[in-house]
Amino acid sequence: KKKAFIFDLDGVIVDTAKYHFLAWQKIAAQLGINFTHEHNEQLKGVSRIRSLDIILALGNVTITQQEKDNLLQQKNEDYLAYIQKMDESEILAGVLPALQYLKQNNQPIALGSASKNARPILEKVNLLDYFDAIVDGNDVTNAKPDPEVFVQAAKKLNMPTEGAIVFEDSVAGVQAANVAQMVSVGIGSKAVLHEAHYNFDDFKVINTTFLENLVNK
Ligand code: B16
Ligand code: MG
């Protein structure tokens, strides 16, 4: 039996949220906006453009489209500088054994991320070879909670959307999976991700029996 296994990137495979935070904090400081770790939670799974709008709204700041474009470019340049230094050590605990188990059992694996930098990140942490398909921020027109990113991922794997399994750390991502009639596995706080079909604090507590049961379900 085969199921499509779709992984979100930031917050599931690697913790790039800390780098997004540093880059956004610099922008916020330039704009005189107070931007905390708590605020950063609101940006998880959200597109780059939408993230800037959220920060501007936080500070009640209005800027021109040209200024926005400049800030988006600056943010990404700073973020890319952080990514350059990434390596295998940044893969979150438990992720590699899960990918290896799925690969050994010939399960189709895809990435479903909002990030336009997903490929270089997977390359940096040396995980590119595990993925049979990659759908990221460059491919989709509708952001999560729209299911487009996961529907495209299942299609690329030549697998049905229904019954595909999605690992997600964001509320919008869990909702996107549910809308697509996929099986949502929330990675992180159960209180936050209560809409998910399954909840785990992290990949360390996901064992092969759980994965095996998902395949045979
Ligand atoms: P980029 P995910 C998302 O990745 C991040 O969670 C979110 O904070 C970020 O704004 C978004 O990617 C876009 O990233 O600026 O690199 O295009 O969780 O969907 O893998
Ligand atoms: Mg995420």
- Per-residue pLDDT of 69-128, as tens digits, reads 999 999 999 999 999 999 999 999 999 999 999 999 999 999 999 999 999 999 999 999
Read off φ and ψ for residue 164, nearest 5 degrees. -65, 155
Rounded Cα distance between 3 and 7, Å, is 13
Mean pLDDT of 10-17: 97
The catalytically annotated residue of 8, 132, 136, 169 is: 8
Q: Which ligand is closest in space to the CA of residue 72?
A: 1
Position 135, amino acid = V
Rounded Cα distance between 16 and 165, Å, is 22
Q: What is the ipTM of this complex?
A: 0.95
Q: How large is the angle between the packed helices 208-216 and 95-104, nearest 10 degrees?
A: 40
CA nearest 117: which of 26, 187, 19? 19
pLDDT at 41 over 90: no
Mean pLDDT of 6-28: 97
pLDDT at 27 over 90: yes
- Choosing from 48, 53, 144, 171 the residue with most ligand 1 atoms within 8 A of its CB, the one to mutate for a pocket test is 48
Ligand 1 atom closest to the Cα of residue 9 is 20
Residue 43 is predicted with a pLDDT of 92
Rounded Cα distance between 143 and 66, Å, is 23
Give yes or no for a contact between 45 and 26, defined as CB atoms under 8 angstroms apart: no
Tens digit of each residue's pLDDT (9 = 90 or more) over 153-201: 999 999 999 999 999 999 999 999 999 999 999 999 999 999 999 999 9
- Choosing from 10, 50, 90 the residue with most ligand 1 atoms within 8 A of its CB, the one to mutate for a pocket test is 10
Task: Give me ligand 1 centre to Cα 44, in Å.
Answer: 7
Query: Rounded to a whole number, what is the largest CA-CA distance in the chain?
Result: 55
Mean pLDDT of 130-134: 98
Is 10 among the residues known to form the active site?
yes
Q: Across-strand partners of 165? A: 5, 183
Residue 28 is predicted with a pLDDT of 98
Is 69 among the residues known to form the active site?
no
Ligand 1 lined by 42 (C-beta under 6 Å): no
